[in-house]
Amino acid sequence: MPATAPPAADHALGDTIIEMRHVDKFYGDFHVLRDIDLSVARGERIVICGPSGSGKSTLIRCLNQLEEHQKGEIVIDGTAVHARLKGIEDIRREIGMVFQSFNLFPHLTALENCMLAPMKVRGIPKAEAEATARKILERVHIPEQAHKYPIQLSGGQQQRVAIARSLCMNPKIMLFDEPTSALDPEMVSEVLDVMVELAESGMTMLCVTHEMGFARKVADRVIFMDAGEIVEVAPPERFFTAPQNERTRKFLGQILHAQTQAH
Amino acid sequence: MSYEFDFADVFAAWPELLQGLLNSLVLSALAMAIGMVVSVAGALGKTSGPGWLRRIIDEYIELIRNTPFLIQIFVIYFGLPAAGLKFSSNAAALLALVVNVGAYGIEIIRAGIESIQKGQVEAGKSLGMRPLQIFRYIILKPAIQAIYPSLTSQFILLMLNTSVCSAIAASELTAVAGDIQSRTFRSFEVYFVATCLYLGLSVFFWTVFAGIERAFLRKPTR
Ligand SMILES: Nc1ncnc2c1ncn2[C@@H]1O[C@H](COP(=O)(O)OP(=O)(O)O)[C@@H](O)[C@H]1O
Ligand SMILES: [Mg+2]
């Protein structure tokens, strides 16, 4: 039984693909994740928000073990992941990750960025990898930038290449860690549009973001974290109109105020 | 001014000089190529190898960087045969050059590796790449791009260091010049010509390095 209530989704959800049970993580003495319980269904879209330093990045980075947890269990599509797992690469290649700072490979073109892992990790022949990469660059609306290097692209374009690079591995899960936070305001929507389209295609997504419009539009559930804990989990409708926890209300007050000011 | 310059004897020995020049070039190029492999492997070991390996590499670097090159050559040429390892003078020269340039090359390439942002490695990991794939396809080229000027300077020093190998009678340019000098007594003339030839070697290698940079290591610009 998942510890959290099943989502009130308007689209079909599958079986459980991510399961976190009583997960604790420490940086030295610092208790960064506290007793995290979370279960995500195949096809579900989750938005994670919360103040800076609350452990949002750490939580999603534990899923592909860029960070290791010390206690509890994390099960990805049937496999328990942990620091000493042999073949963690086999899990990671099924989980795409998009970073705040893009992290494109600077010495490779957009197309090559998208072809590298499919060729080296999945052993896909070059011609096929290129065909897929071109198709997916089209899907993120930048086919004409295929031969440009990251430095020659705008932030929004770079982030869309980064999304394409992950999608070329044909992952089962996509993780986003504040994908629009490093972007100039006028480029935020081109990235969010791609993410919305991805959500509509049925991808399982966990997105750390403060873009509340995006959360309202695609999230099945919104998670609020504070001080290493999951404080509140609710469908967006209820999350935004009737938050249960005092800390959630305070955070929403601040964030909505800030976003109104910005727009 | 009683000394009269006379290059005739030196020029007459041009086939020997040319051979010496060629030997120096081949010795340098081989040492650079093998030294590059040693440097990359050593830098990989030093940045991500197990603790014992890092300590061995550290000791090696300290040993080489704190002793004279000439002594390193003597140890390899005269010392190792006592341990049952005997080399021709040219092989000993090549080995000494590789051992020497490796110590400096490892530190240079390690600096390049450490200049690569953590996010690059994380991106590689998140795509399911294994550590060696990340090193080979993500880290190595930008790392070399970052330190290419230091690396090529070190390689030019290596080329100049081949001259020291004349001490064990390796058949390179300085040894050839010494032979001609002792035969003709035209010291100034022969070493003047040798100087010009070394300068030519430097120009040759700088040109090759620039060509390699243009062909493989050019960074994209906005
Ligand atoms: N490598 C690390 N070592 C020590 N502390 C860290 C490390 N990474 C993050 N932290 C700390 O853990 C807390 C949670 O970080 P993070 O998950 O990045 O928060 P968020 O993404 O919600 O802003 C912060 O207080 C941060 O300073
Ligand atoms: Mg974060």
CATH classification at residue B77: 1.10.3720.10
Question: CA-to-CA distance for A27 and A85, rounded, in angstroms?
Answer: 20
**A88 DSSP 8-state letter:** H
Question: What residue has token string 């064990």?
Answer: B168
- Look at residue A5 in the predicted model and tell me its pLDDT: 44
Evaluate whether B127 touches A166 at the Cβ level (below 8 Å). Answer: yes
Judge contact between A38 and A204, C-beta under 8 A. Answer: no
Contact B159, B24 (CB under 8 A): yes
In a domain, B5, yes or no: no
Q: What 3-state DSSP class applies to A204? A: strand
For the CA of A51, the nearest atom of ligand 1: 22
Question: Are A248 and A224 in contact, with CB atoms under 8 Å apart?
Answer: yes
CA–CA separation, A183 and A162 (whole Å): 13
Phi, psi of B50 (to 5 degrees): -65, 160
Task: Kindly state the tokens that stand for B150.
Answer: 């230091």
3-state secondary structure (DSSP) of residue A85: coil
Report yes or no on B4 lying in a domain.
no
Q: Is the dihedral of CA A70, A75, A76, A79 positive or negative?
A: positive
Mean of the per-residue pLDDT values for chain A?
Answer: 94
- Residue A204 φ/ψ, nearest 5 degrees: -75, 125
Q: Do B133 and A107 touch (CB under 8 A)?
A: no
> What is the number of alpha carbons within 13 Å of residue A144 lying toward its C-beta?
1
pLDDT tens for A31-74 read 999 999 999 999 999 999 999 999 999 999 999 999 999 999 99
pLDDT category of residue A256 using cuts at 50, 70 and 90: confident
Asked if residue B8 belongs to a domain, the reply is no
Give me the mean pLDDT over the B148-160 stretch: 98
Q: Which pLDDT value is given to residue A9?
A: 60
**Phi/psi of residue B159, each to 5°?**
-60, -40
- CB contact under 8 Å between B220 and A106, yes or no, is yes
- Return d(Cα B70, Cα B67) in angstroms, integer: 9
A3-31 residue pLDDT tens: 444 444 678 899 999 999 999 999 999 99
A contact set with B (CB within 8 A): 64, 66, 89-90, 92-97, 99, 101, 103-107, 116-117, 120-121, 149, 151-152, 162, 165-166, 169
CA distance A230 to A54: 9
Q: What SS3 class is residue A173?
A: strand
Q: State the CB neighbour count (10 A cutoff) for residue B121.
A: 19
**Rounded Cα–Cα distance for residues A98 and B204 (Å):** 46
What pLDDT does A7 receive? Answer: 47
Model confidence at A260: pLDDT above 80: no
Where b means 16+ CB within 10 Å and e means fewer, B124-142 reads bbbbbbbeebbbebbbbbb
In the prediction, which pLDDT does A263 show? 57
Determine, yes or no, domain membership for B84: yes
- Encode A4-66 in three state secondary structure: CCCCCCCCCCCCEEEEEEEEEEEECCEEEEEEEEEEEECCCEEEEECCCCCCHHHHHHHHCCC
Partners of A120 on chain B (C-beta within 8 Å) are: 129, 133, 137
Distance, CA of A16 to CA of A31 (rounded, Å): 27
Of all residues in chain A, the one with the smallest CA distance to B121 is A103
pLDDT in tens, A161-211: 999 999 999 999 999 999 999 999 999 999 999 999 999 999 999 999 999
Name the pTM for this structure.
Answer: 0.93
pLDDT more than 70, % of chain A: 95
Please give the tally of structural domains in chain B. 1
Band (pLDDT 50/70/90 cuts) for residue B19 is very high
User: E strand or H helix at B161, and its extent?
Assistant: helix B140-161
* B115, part of any domain: yes
Give the span between the Cα atoms of B203 and A40, in whole angstroms: 64
Half-sphere exposure of A104 (CA within 13 A, CB side): 30
- Model pLDDT for residues B72-127, shown as the tens digit of each residue: 999 999 999 999 999 999 999 999 999 999 999 999 999 999 999 999 999 999 99
Q: What is the pLDDT of residue A262?
A: 63
- Looking at chain B, which residue has its C-alpha nearest residue A119? B129
Domain span at B165: 16-216
Residue A1 banded pLDDT, cuts 50, 70, 90: very low
Tokens 């609710």 -> residue:
A234
Window 127-186 of B, Cβ < 8 Å to A: 127-130, 133, 137-138, 141-142, 145
| C-alpha span between A163 and A88 (Å, rounded) | 21
* Average pLDDT along chain B: 96
Confidence bin at A112 (pLDDT 50/70/90): very high
Does some domain include residue B132?
yes
Residue B202 lies inside a defined structural domain of this protein = yes
Dihedral over alpha carbons B86, B88, B93, B96 (to 10 degrees): -10
Assigned domain for B11 exists: no
Q: How far is B89 from chain A (nearest CA, A)?
A: 42
The verdict on ipTM greater than 0.90 is yes
The C-alpha atoms of residue B37 and residue B106 are separated, in whole angstroms, by 10
Q: What's the rounded Cα separation, in Å, for the pair A137 and A189?
A: 17
How far is Cα A20 from Cα B22, in angstroms, rounded to an integer?
67
Strand partners, A30: A27
